[in-house]
Chain A
Amino acid sequence: DADVTQTPRNRITKTGKRIMLECSQTKGHDRMYWYRQDPGLGLRLIYYSFDVKDINKGEISDGYSVSRQAQAKFSLSLESAIPNQTALYFCATSDFRDGYGYTFGSGTRLTVV
């Protein structure tokens, strides 16, 4: 099983719908992150959480919300999806005690039509 699992892998949704992307990890890491990637561009930080009671906005949090249900689970919600939220979404975890920075999930490809 992957260390960081994202579900679903692919999703097509309609404008105005609420959608949740889920991330779970078996790394035992405290820190979790959500990134968005648009074609040909680097990753942009949406939200991050350093522990269960900690939630922080990243570069592009407007239109998104998150929930840290447990140490191992971090969900990203689009309350009312719009077409320009069509992108590839990545979840990541980190624990810099091991010195290796981030571990990324395989991504969720979201299309809003």
Chain B
Amino acid sequence: DAKTTQPPSMDCAEGRAANLPCNHSTISGNEYVYWYRQIHSQGPQYIIHGLKNNETNEMASLIITEDRKSSTLILPHATLRDTAVYYCIVSNFNKFYFGSGTKLNVKP
């Protein structure tokens, strides 16, 4: 069962930051938050993950609230190539359950 809630779609202007929210109010203490994206019908691609602390890598930043019930994925300077479906997943390393994700439309 998907344990996350995401808006079905969002728009973002090219060059601006894209902030994608995710609610995971039933997350357990040993569950991580993972973000993946899927471009067209390709295999989903790993973006970032975290447990409690905020995380940053070359692709994105992940902000997790102190109570861990929600998180935000930030793409600092969105490009047209970032147009994709973004999935927020909580997992304790056993298996992933995907929800419907957020379709991010980056517009010129």
Contacts and interface: CB of A to CB of B under 8 A. Distances in A.
- A and B: real partners? yes
Interface of A: 4, 33, 35, 37, 40-45, 48, 58-59, 88, 90, 92, 96, 99-107, 109
A107 B100 CA distance: 18
A45 B44 contact: no
A4 B41 CA distance: 16
Contacts of A106: 42-43
Contacts of A101: 34, 36, 46, 49, 91, 96
Interface residues of B, number: 20
Given A42-B2, A106-B43, A59 B96 contact: no
Interface in B3-47: 34, 36, 41-46
Nearest to A97: B93
Given A96-B93, A107-B41, A109-B41, A42 B99 contact: yes
Contacts of A40: 100
Contact of B95 (A33, A103, A105): A33
B101 A42 contact: yes
A76 B41 CA distance: 19
A37 B20 CA distance: 22
Contact of A90 (B2, B43, B49, B100): B43
Interface string B76-105: 000000000001000101011111110000
B97 A104 contact: no
